[in-house]
Amino acid sequence: MENNNNKTMADILESQVKLIKGLEIAKSRELSSHYKVILSYKGINAKESKLDKMCAVGKEIQFVRFFIETAITGVLLNEGNMIEAKKWLNHEVWDNVEENDNKKKLNKLIEKSNLTMEEIEELVRLYNIVE
């Protein structure tokens, strides 16, 4: 998980919104203890929601993702899209995001290491034995 020590909740929200195709921040306003945010998904605006500026340390991404899921699920339910709403409620929308992020990280490590694919596979095999 990335280091969020110097990021605001608004920064984290923006980074998470970028991960989902069709998701945007339509409007955001900073107040003393929270942000007033309107998210848009596939061109449809959610209701204005309150995103607190503070949460438990180390839980920022989970907190922001729950905020996003809640807002977008509401949009989808209002539109009658129960199938996609269920994906948001079950956190399935993040599965592909994390899988793609892990693939990117792995490819960067492979590029830096100068190892062959066979050598990497052997390292993974040995790592799994040790674990």
Segment 102-111 long-range contacts (CB within 8 Å, at least 24 positions apart): none
Least confidently predicted of 16-20, 29-33, 117-121: 117-121
Please tell me whether the overall predicted TM-score, pTM, comes out greater than 0.75 for this model: no
Q: Which two tokens stand for residue 58?
A: 């180390």
Least confidently predicted of 21-25, 52-56, 120-124: 120-124
Going by C-alpha positions, the residue among 124, 1, 121, 131 that lies closest to residue 12 is 1
Residue 37 to residue 59: CA distance in whole angstroms: 19
Going by C-alpha positions, the residue among 124, 131, 78 that lies closest to residue 88 is 78
**Residue-wise DSSP of 33-83:** SEEEEEEEETTEEPPPEEEES---TT-HHHHHHHHHHHHHHHHHHHTT-HH
Length of the chain as a residue count = 131
